[in-house]
Structure 1
Amino acid sequence: MPSSSASTTDAGKPTAASGGVQSLERAFDLLERMADAGGEVGLSELSASSGLPLPTIHRLMRTLVACGYVRQQANRRYALGPRLIRLGESASRLLGTWARPYLARLVDETGETANMALLDGDEVVYVAQVPSRHSMRMFTEVGRRVLPHSTGVGKALLAHLPGEEVRELLARTGMPAATERTITTPDRFLAALDEVRAAGYAVDDNEQEVGVRCLAVPIPGSPTAAAISISGPAGRVTESATDRIVPVLKEVAAALSAVLRNTAP
């Protein structure tokens, strides 16, 4: 969230551009920059990335530390604080609530289980699901965390990241094989991401679980990296079914994107 231009630099005064409070805008901008940097940064790094002077950043960080949203490490760098966990958990629950009607539409139109997932650090976390009505159906527990390299949602979430960032993530997580079809090398995975970008959707073809096929698309313009998917038995989620399902996935993702982007006034 870039800082908006304003007619005053006094902390707590309304900004001319947005009618908001400049110090709040700057504080949230710093928190987002910290998250983008992996959760821990130095003041000079924040100053370089935000363009704000060091005294301003120091004042804002002191306030965030006092409130528990940031903590100062022994090495004098700053890290995201534990008080953010409660906010994040509540926001994830709300996100799942907003998503369920759209996932229910996916189930109605495709017949398969629908999921929504976020990229949280180096992992994919499932935040909402509506199950298929078929007696044979897929089930992924909400809150489950998986590595992105073996899932359709993981591919959809990573496809638009720079290749070097993807390689660094894979180096941190490793690429264990869940099945004999799992992609286990960075070069093959990056090639798969090229295919995702070209096709506009991602496929997990027996890579996370034998007999299961998953189709996924990112939610465009989402405030946080998010994707939706359908999953079902490979015998039902066939190539011909893919041609029918992918347009529905993209349409629902666009509708959900509009809702997520307009939740804030």
Structure 2
Amino acid sequence: MARGRKQDPEDSPSGAGSPEEERDYSVRAVERVCLILNLLQESVDGITLNEVAQTTGLPKSSAFRYLWTLENHRYVERDEEHGLFRLGLGFVGMQSRHLEILRERARPTLESLRDEFGETANLGLLDGDRIIYIEIVESRRGVRLAAARGDHDYLHSTALGKAIAAHLPEDRVRQLLENTGLPARTANTITSIDDYLDELAKVRRVGYAVDNGENEIDGRCVAAPLLATHLPAAISVSGPASRFTMQDVKKVAKTLIDMAAEIATNPVSADLEARKS
């Protein structure tokens, strides 16, 4: 008696099957997830829904469900403007090649900023609903303002947070702020979502963000986003408010914007290609 092809639950309207079929489906699903993650890991600019469907052999509707689920768990990030999917922060660990390359590229810039202005220079990244410091070059002065690598800070009260949030979709910013609230770190902290969104509009207009005693009463910080890295990242310079004046902030901001542009000129692509050759 001839045997028919065992139906894949992905091809079935209900997705139902026998226990044996369910076990086979589970293995098939894991294989497809691995294929998708491998595609993402190998791609710098991102992959399209069509590429995922072709590689996995899934219908586009099923491929989208896989990507949607991975996005919900932060393993995938969607670029709606360009129709691309990229590796998300749930999968990109602190030692991943993308972050390591970014840190390597940023380190000389941070050292240059520290040497030129005498204050601490930082590289920060959005990690969940907060900012994480992934590289820090501390000021050589005895009195300095410096976090530790791996420390987390709020999105709403830091210059790094503002610089990154200014280039996220508004609905995502609102969700992040709803998760953490807007606690008053100091009397200067912005504690209203609407006021914070107004501040982000200013950041986009001038190209940099300022923490003017909003995270620490005696601290001041200026940050610029790394827009072309495809990572929610920024660099900053921070120091004691008594020494790092608002006039200093304006001067530092111009240098930060220029240096951020140099770091963010597709650094991951350039370095990966160099390592392959």
* 1:12-49 deviation digits (Å, cap 9, x = unpaired): xxxxxxxxxxx9985455689xxx9xxxxxxxxxxxx8
Partner of 1:218: 225
Deviation at 1:178, TM superposition (A): 1.3
Q: Which runs of 4+ in 1 moved over 3 A?
A: 23-32, 51-55, 77-81, 84-87, 92-95
Tell me, in whole angstroms, the C-alpha distance in 2 between the residues paired with 1:264 and 1:165.
30
The verdict on how the C-alpha distance between 1:99 and 1:183 changes in structure 2, with shifts beyond 3 A counting, is same
Shift of 1:186: 0.5
Residues 1:90 and 2:95 aligned together = yes
- CA displacement 1:62-82 (0-9 Å, x = unmatched): xxx9xxxx9x99xxx98849x
- How far off is 1:173 after superposition? 1.6
Question: 1:2-21 maps to which residues of 2 (within 5 A)?
Answer: none
- Alignment-derived partner of residue 107 in structure 2: 100
Return the alpha-carbon distance in structure 1 between the equivalents of residues 268 and 73 of structure 2. 30
Counterpart AA for 1:56: G
**Equivalent in the alignment of 1:238:** 245
How far is the alpha carbon of 1:231 from its aligned partner? 0.3
Paired residue type of 1:50: L
Q: Tell me, yes or no, if the aligned pair for 1:177 and 1:183 is still in contact at 8 Å.
A: yes
Partner amino acid for 1:202?
A
Aligned counterpart, 1:50: 49
1:219 alignment partner AA: L
CA contact (8 A) 1:222 1:261 kept: no
User: CA separation of 1:175/1:246 partners in 2, compared to 1, >3 Å: closer, same or farther?
Assistant: same
Structure 1 counterpart of 2:154: 147
Q: In the alignment, is the contact (CA less than 8 A) between 1:31 and 1:80 conserved in 2?
A: no
On the 8 A contact 2:114/2:137 being kept in 1, the answer is yes
Amino acid at match of 1:152: A
Output one character per residue of 1:111-139: Cα deviation in whole Å (capped at 9) or x when no partner.
11000001122111100010112211111
CA contact under 8 A between 2:155 and 2:162: conserved in structure 1? yes
8 A contact 2:222–2:238 mirrored in 1: yes
How far, CA to CA, are the matches of 2:74 and 2:212 in structure 1?
A: 39
TM-score by length of 2: 0.67
Structure 1 Cα separation of the partners of residues 75 and 268 of structure 2:
24
Choose which of 121, 134, 140 in structure 2 pairs with 1:114.
121
Aligned residues: 215
Quick one: distance in 2 between partners of 1:199 and 1:218?
12
Asked if the contact 2:101/2:268 (under 8 Å) is kept, the reply is no
| C-alpha separation in 2, matches of 1:87 and 1:165 | 20
Structural RMSD (CA)? 3.6
Q: 1:264 to 1:107 in 2, by over 3 A?
A: same
Of all paired residues, the percent bearing the same amino acid is 37
Would the alpha carbon gap of residues 234 and 201 (structure 1) be closer, same or farther in structure 2, given more than 3 Å must change?
same
Please list the CA deviations of residues 71-121 of structure 1 after superposition, one character each: whole Å capped at 9, or x if unmatched. x99xxx98849xx97861212455333321110011111111000001122
Partner of 1:262: 270
Contact 1:93/1:127 (8 A) holds in 2: no
Q: Which has the larger radius of gyration?
A: 2
Whole-Å separation in 1 of the counterparts to 2:91 and 2:169: 30
Instruction: Provide Cα deviations, 1:144-178, integer angstroms capped at 9, x if missing partner.
Output: 11221110000000001222221121112211121
Aligned mates of 1:210, 1:86 — CA distance in 2: 36
The answer to whether structure 1 residue 128 and structure 2 residue 135 are counterparts is: yes
The answer for unaligned runs of 5 or more in structure 1 is 1-22, 37-48
Matched residues in 2 for 1:123 and 1:50: separation?
Answer: 29
Task: Give the Cα separation in 1 of the matches to 2:74 and 2:227.
Answer: 29
Match of 1:178 in 2: 185
5+ long unaligned stretches in structure 2 = 1-32, 77-88
For the residues of structure 2 that align with 1:235 and 1:120, how far apart are their CA atoms?
30
